[in-house]
A and B are shown apart, each in its own frame.
Chain A
């Protein structure tokens, strides 16, 4: 075969592949579902399923240990963003009680090449990221809530993802077993 291989930047192609496939999926979901809230919910669930598996990959690749507090967790998630999305968000806007914080992304690879039409303005396009965070943290016994506060797709300056700590999950034995 005459052409030299590796003429493309595989990392960049892979990133575009994710962006484009994600876009095609969201378009399909919008077609399938009756209202946009359902789509947002479904994206979150899809993200959750991904998060449940991604955390394994993350722990295996980084060999990271236990987090001492939520600040520690936030830093770890920050490095996971870097690893998986290639962007480094800022951790900011801690609540006074220290149980709520935000990730602020200047650029979001998921929304590269994306424009929301007017009738989908309330679609939470990036909800998948919230799902991933929730799913991943659930696997390390942290129950959190995550939602989007600001979205570049809707004209905001940055994309801001809020994470709220709910409680620590305890390993529970199934009923009837000792």
Chain B
């Protein structure tokens, strides 16, 4: 029964760790390229993969992909982010856009453009979490995030069909 703030602070330390660890490794190899957040995504993936199993244990099977997405937007999101997704859009061909107008990990940051370029750090874990959860529900996907104005965030889910 952890308090909410614990996870928020823990999440920011998680981001911190991954970034610092990258920096030390980059120094050793003297490579220079952009920020590598794949470890953070993978931590999210493993968490999502495991937690969805515990959440859906008692639930009936989802009817279809859309039904699964609705579950993610409502129950899953409110269990983890204390609110539902504000808008779900789909082209019915495997692309889903989930919009959260006040994403929890961005809501504590400045809502000006000042830190906009750092926003990937705070949404990557969630991308992984989504990808992991869907993977365990049998949907292979690519999840990317888009932040145009803080603190709102759009998650793009592209389902891999083949």
Contacts and interface: CB of A to CB of B under 8 A. Distances in A.
A111 B16 CA distance: 23
A6 B82 CA distance: 9
A86 B1 contact: yes
Interface stretch (A23-31, A66-74, A98-106, A165-173): A23-31
Given A3-B70, A42-B17, A12 B75 contact: no
Interface residues of B, number: 37
Interface in A28-84: 28-29, 32, 42, 46, 49-50, 53-54, 57, 83-84
A152 B55 CA distance: 26
Nearest to B14: A25
B9 A53 contact: yes
A86 B3 CA distance: 8
B13 A50 contact: yes
B9 A50 contact: yes
Interface in B16-44: 16-18, 21, 25, 39, 42-44
Interface stretch (B45-53, B109-117, B154-162): B45-53
A84 B2 contact: yes
A54 B6 CA distance: 8
Contacts of A85: 1-2, 6
B80 interface: yes
Contacts of A32: 21, 25, 39
A8 B55 contact: yes
14 contacts: A1-B84, A6-B78, A10-B78, A14-B1, A14-B80, A18-B2, A21-B7, A21-B14, A27-B46, A42-B17, A50-B10, A83-B3, A85-B1, A109-B1
Interface of B: 1-7, 9-11, 13-14, 16-18, 21, 25, 39, 42-44, 46-47, 50-51, 54-55, 70-71, 73-75, 78-80, 82, 84
